[in-house]
């Protein structure tokens, strides 16, 4: 029975890997959509929770997909690298640009006498709220919380909490202005 379960996991890993290298969405839209669905389904079979209308673009690298939860209508951009040794929760209607990197662990440094590689790690979950836009090449570090309705500019490094209703950018990410409403009175 253990061999069958191992084979099942390996099969869905291979399906994800195959679908992850193919991007023909712009050439043949119907086949591209099928491959996108299959890529998400293979992640779900490996333990991820991905709700309706959400998808993961091609060339993504996800360590421990069982720690991934995506709300509905969310999109993870091309080439995302998710190192999920703890949970990553992504809310509804989140748009994430290409080359996102998320880390849920970091090295622990507690003793000057021990080699750095022998001091273990610290694991902290990352939370991304709903109605969030994250630009390309953003790095999100362990323990970060991005609240609802936040914009994170391209190339930012996120550590800590980004509060609702604002635009953040820079290294480290800092509030640069409030999100303005486009509603007309």
CA distances from 182 to 55, 72, 145, 149, 156 (A): 28, 24, 26, 14, 25
- Catalytic site residue 107? yes
Q: Which of 107, 108, 174, 177 is catalytic?
A: 107
Q: State the DSSP H helix or E strand holding residue 147, giving kind and residue range, or none if neither.
A: none
Question: Which are the catalytic amino acids?
Answer: 107
């Amino acid at each position: 029975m253990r061999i069958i379960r191992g084979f099942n996991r390996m099969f869905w890993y291979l399906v994800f890997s195959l679908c992850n290298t193919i991007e023909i969405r712009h050439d043949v839209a119907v086949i591209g959509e099928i491959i996108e669905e299959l890529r998400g389904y293979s992640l779900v079979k490996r333990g991820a929770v991905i709700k309706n209308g959400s998808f993961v673009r091609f060339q993504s690298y996800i360590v421990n997909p069982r720690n991934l939860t995506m709300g509905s209508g969310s999109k993870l951009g091309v080439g995302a690298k998710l190192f999920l040794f703890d949970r990553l929760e992504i809310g509804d209607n989140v748009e994430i640009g290409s080359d996102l990197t998320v880390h849920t662990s970091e090295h622990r440094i507690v003793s000057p006498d021990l080699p750095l590689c022998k001091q273990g790690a610290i694991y902290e979950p990352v939370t991304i709220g709903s109605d969030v836009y994250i630009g390309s090449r953003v790095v999100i570090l362990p323990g970060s919380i991005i609240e609802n309705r936040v914009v994170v500019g391209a190339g930012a490094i996120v550590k800590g909490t980004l509060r609702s209703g604002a635009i953040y950018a820079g290294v480290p990410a800092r509030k640069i202005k409030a999100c303005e409403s486009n509603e007309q009175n």
